[in-house]
Amino acid sequence: METHEAEANQVVVLGTGGTIAGTAADPGDNVGYQAAQLGVAQLVSAVPALAAVSLACEQVAQLDSKDMDFATWRQLAIRVAAHLAREDVAGVVITHGTDTLEETAYFLQRVLAPKKPVILTAAMRPATALQTDGPQNLLDAVAVAQDPQASGVLVVFAGVIHAAEQVRKAHSYRVDAFVSSDGARLGLVEEGQVRWVQGLGQARPGVGLEVLPTAAKDWPRVEILLNHVASDGRLVRALLAQSTDDKPGGLVVAGTGNGSLSQDLEAALREAQAQGVRVLRSTRCDAGPVTASADALPSAGALSPVKARVELILQLLNESKS
């Protein structure tokens, strides 16, 4: 039985950049800013209440999350695992950009499946804004990281606690930009107090750090396609026509409704399958699973297209190691 709750009291804050670390020349400008300008130690020092918490800071990366890459993912996973292995660490908080936060959260959950909490947080407004949201989000994230009931990879944003598998960025501008599919939020942070509204659920096992290649070129190529009116298979066949080194190892298709596909697109995807390309069928809808069927292409379940892509990348990596 693990006893880290009784022994651990330190929270490690890992910085990766994003809007939460962004600055603008005009405090009234919430759009024309430069992301990833402030270090994580500066973000922590801007929240006076965190002075009472045992914290350690580490800058893992400094980028706009639209530019997140495999090398940064691998390094972040390694650093998270290293800190979680320490007996004095209660949990890890990661400051991140909002654009690809949901992908990073799912990636870390599937690679590490941590027992201790790993909390991702971010901001929709830069640190220099008149009403910046980053400091409160960071304070809330640390509160959840210290909570004895917290475990696994979670997203804390605008006072709401989300699971890595269900969270999605649903708005391009509002400060409450994230939602959980089917209303599956886990809890709330209210004036520093964590209130859970449902259980964390059963986490999938982690694939482990050892499946992650060192070189970005060794990560499998997985592309996302979209079903729409007059969708055909030309993009699929163009991908299949590429050289062996450039051909994708997997394709995720965001179908309409319950993962439905046009006849032409489905035919092309089945051609891809016949050539050894793995295919997962997701939905372009904001919520709801894709029903599995023996006659249909494989379902991604309730994963969004971008998370289905992460899942397929990790499956391919895991299979290549076995």
Catalytic positions, please?
A: 19
CB contact set of 95 (below 8 Å; sequence gap of 6+): 13, 14, 15, 16, 17, 18, 20, 21, 40, 43, 121, 122, 134, 138
Tokens of 216: 């970005």
Task: Read off the DSSP letter of residue 116.
Answer: S
**How far apart are alpha carbons 18 and 94 in whole angstroms?**
11
Q: Which stretches does DSSP call E strand in the chain?
A: 10-17, 55-63, 89-95, 117-121, 152-157, 160-163, 167-169, 178-180, 187-190, 193-196, 222-226, 250-255, 278-283
**How far apart are alpha carbons 260 and 278 in whole angstroms?**
18
Please list, residue by residue across 42-77, b when 16 or more beta carbons sit within 10 angstroms of its beta carbon and e when fewer do.
ebbeebeebeebebbbeebbbbbbeebebebbbebb
Q: What is the separation of C-alpha 218 from the centre of its chain, rounded to a whole number of angstroms?
A: 21
Total Cβ atoms within 10 A of residue 126: 26
**How far apart are alpha carbons 102 and 10 in whole angstroms?**
25
Tokens of 255: 């179908």
SS3 at position 87: coil
Total Cβ atoms within 10 A of residue 35: 23
**How far apart are alpha carbons 136 and 251 in whole angstroms?**
39
At residue 311, φ and ψ (nearest 5 deg) are -60, -45
